Structure 1
Amino acid sequence: MSFNTRPVILTGDRTTGPLHLGHYVGSLKNRVALQESHRQFLLLADTQALTDNAHDPGKVRSNVLEVALDYLAVGIDPAKTTICVQSGLPALAELTTLYMNFVTVARLERNPTIKDEIHARGFGRDIPAGFLCYPVSQAADITAFKATVVPVGEDQLPLIEQTNEIARRINRQIGRDVLPEACALIPEIGRLPGIDGTAKMSKSQGNAIPLSASPDLIRESVRRMYTDPNHLRVSDPGTVEGNVVFTYLDAFDADRSAVDALKAHYRRGGLADMAVKRRLEDILQALLEPIRARRAALAREPGYVLDVLRQGTSRARQATQATLDEIRHGLGLFTFEFDAVPRSAADGSPLYPSSRP
């Protein structure tokens, strides 16, 4: 299969902070593998990050490079994956505007993912319009690249469904299938909990282990991990379910038989929490050491990272503009060619006098 005939995959991250182990197990590890079999576009979603960070655009801007460093450090190859910056792709903004005419506010408010996020952020009725229209923006991203595969967590499935609804409406309006529908790719390992046992690992909550974590931070984070609060003595039987240390071992320990043996030992008693944590720490130290080293080396070459983003964004701009042109033509929208506009009247007087003195 040639590169250009491979299935197109679109994925990415909002640029609100460096990436952590939750991102690695949930998406980054899969992206490294998928770039061998797919034509992969990786979007640094700085525009979408502004939907709830408009008060701090500097944070969004500075984290474009931070997230790009994480991508390259884990093994994303810019020769195989196009890494691009969302704000550098004007076709996405125009497609978002076009698509807003094909979806209602009521439909956006019914989207379960958006409803949950609105509740979690306590917006009430003071919902930023950009946040409410996030599904439309995501639909523009996915369809602009004509992606047929989109890796997402289960909580993001309603967004893919809404993307396909919009694609079908556009296709019906045009009278032919211009936009393909996308399939969700659910990772085998779901959302990684925070080290405190909460449902989501998040840097803002202080319960995440960043990919750039130092050996001391890794050790401290593992030792703080939530285990079984009723496992008071080594001899006590312990509970594996809900025990964050075992959840992480399931995610990162390749020796499945050894993990199963540890679980059995813990359940019957006689296995200390610290012994399990030491095993997990060794695994995480081995995983993150080369990532941390590559990231530090790349951080010393910001010119190279910027070149990767410039070249990737340029390639992505061509792909997304081609889709926009096809949709504009299909919808019968007038394309204003400035070079074709007459610049002078029949008598030679300028139609559009210069405003310059």
Structure 2
Amino acid sequence: MTTSRKRVLSGMQPSGLLHLGNLLGALDNWKALQEQYECYFFVADWHALSTNYADTSRIREFVRELLIDWLAAGIDPKRSTVFIQSHVPEHAILHLLFSMIIPISWLERNPTYKEKQEEIKERDLSTYGFLGYPVLQAADILLYKPDYVPVGKDQLPHLELTRELARRFNSLYKPVFPEPMEHLTRFPKVLGTDGRKMSKSYGNTINLSDPEPVVRQKLKTMVTDPARVRRHDPGNPDVCPVFDFHKIFSPPPVIDQVNRECRTAAIGCIDCKKLVADRIVERMAPIWEARRTLIDRPNQLDEIVQDGSRRAADVAHQTLEEVKEAMKI
């Protein structure tokens, strides 16, 4: 690890199994960033409590599965610091200190606060932890003083709140925190099998841990152009979620073929889905192989986490010392 490169930080909640949306929207981006930047990637297990506090039975399992998926997708612990949030207590301490200075109105205007409550109606999210999770998120970020934070467009309000909190702290005490910039993901939205955004909450995911038969079966049931009822009806690829997958996974000649033949009914939805299924399986095959190797070596995973958490704690401790000196506590 070098300190001359610019720094990147990002994390994920272990709230379920990772899927193609996570691979395309985050992990592929992270994999590319570690070639150029000093990267810190953390498992946000405390954040998982904000929506899963009533049932924590699978969080440890999801933490482990998430780490396996990261490494299988190409996150290299020799080039990136991979760690678990709860293994670095400075995250909680800085969250507490930030919670003393952030106005409640800043949290109440968070656009995803009410959106999530509507999306996850079966759970009681009227908790301090859920309202205040952007404060913990800001602590997660600012603790490592990153230059860039990889995010999708839907996360930009959260990052702006982090910058506002950094400015507030710096003006109240003394300059400690730089304001991190966004690094937008290439695929901010990947559709699921039902045509909505791929999400664990919707149950429409193709998981990285799904075996090949499951992946193919899920793709067989994926929604297509709703106006194309019969095989000989011409379709419109512009409104078909399967064609969106082609644009991501298929080579240009296949994309052109599907685009042309769908509109003239020269290809049916079953054949169209098989073409893209072959490409997705080809893309996922190395991940499946790497997952099997990691599952067979549990001690290796533990060593990676311990080493990464130790390296992260060194940086976090230094930042927290600067914070305490600035606040005179």
Fold match, TM over 0.5?
A: yes
Distance (Å, rounded) in 1 between the aligned partners of 2:245 and 2:112: 26
User: TM-score, normalized by length of structure 1?
Assistant: 0.88
Q: Which residue of 2 aligns with 1:212?
A: 209
**Aligned counterpart in structure 1 of residue 191 of structure 2, from 174, 190, 193:** 193
> Mind listing any 5+ residue stretches in structure 2 that lack a counterpart?
none
CA distance in 1, matches of 2:72, 2:95: 32
Residue 307 of structure 1 pairs with residue 303 of structure 2: yes
**Given the alignment, which residue of 252, 255, 258 partners 1:259?**
255
Matched, 1:139 2:135: no
In the aligned structure 2, how far is the partner of 1:118 from the partner of 1:184? Answer: 26
What is aligned with 2:178?
A: 180
Amino acid at match of 1:132: L
Q: For residue 204 of structure 1, report the CA deviation from its aligned partner.
A: 4.5
SS at the partner of 2:237? coil
Superposed CA deviations along residues 231-273 of structure 1, whole A, max 9, x for unmatched, are: 13333221112311111111222x2243133213212332211
Asked if structure 2 preserves the Cα contact closer than 8 Å seen for 1:212 and 1:288, the reply is no
In 1, distance between residues paired with 2:199 and 2:124?
25
C-alpha separation between the residues in 2 aligned to 1:303 and 1:319?
A: 25
1:149 aligns with 2:145: no
Structure 1 range deviating more: 164-173 or 234-243:
234-243
1:50 CA displacement: 0.7
**Following TM superposition, where does structure 1 have runs of at least 4 consecutive aligned residues deviating by more than 3 angstroms?**
122-126
What secondary structure, in the 3-state scheme, does the structure 1 residue paired with 2:60 have? helix
Q: Where does residue 221 of structure 2 map in the other structure?
A: 224
Partner of 1:73 in structure 2?
Answer: 72
Give the match for residue 242 of structure 1. 239
The Cα RMSD (Å) is: 1.7
- Distance in 2 between the 1:328 and 1:288 partners? 46
Within 5 Å, which residues of 2 pair with 1:1-357?
A: 3-122=2-121, 127-176=126-175, 178-198=176-196, 200-253=197-250, 255-333=251-329
TM-score by length of 2: 0.96
**Greater C-alpha radius of gyration:** 1
Query: Is residue 197–residue 242 contact of structure 1 (8 Å, CA) maintained in 2?
Result: no
For 1:299 and 1:123, the matched residues in 2 are separated by 33
Greater RCO (Cα-Cα under 8 Å, separation 6 or more)? 2
CA deviation vs aligned residue, 1:302-337 (integer Å, no higher than 9, x gap): 11001100100010011111111101101111xxxx
Structure 1 unmatched ranges of 5 or more: 334-357
- What is the alpha-carbon distance in structure 2 between the residues aligned to residue 313 and residue 41 of structure 1? 10
1:209-242 CA-to-partner distances (Å, cap 9, x unmatched) read: 1112111101101101110122133332211123
- Taking a change above 3 Å as real, the CA distance of residues 124 and 71 of structure 1, as seen in their structure-2 partners, is closer
Q: Distance in 2 between matches of 1:83 and 1:167?
A: 24
Q: 1:73 touches 1:291 (CA, 8 Å); kept in 2?
A: yes
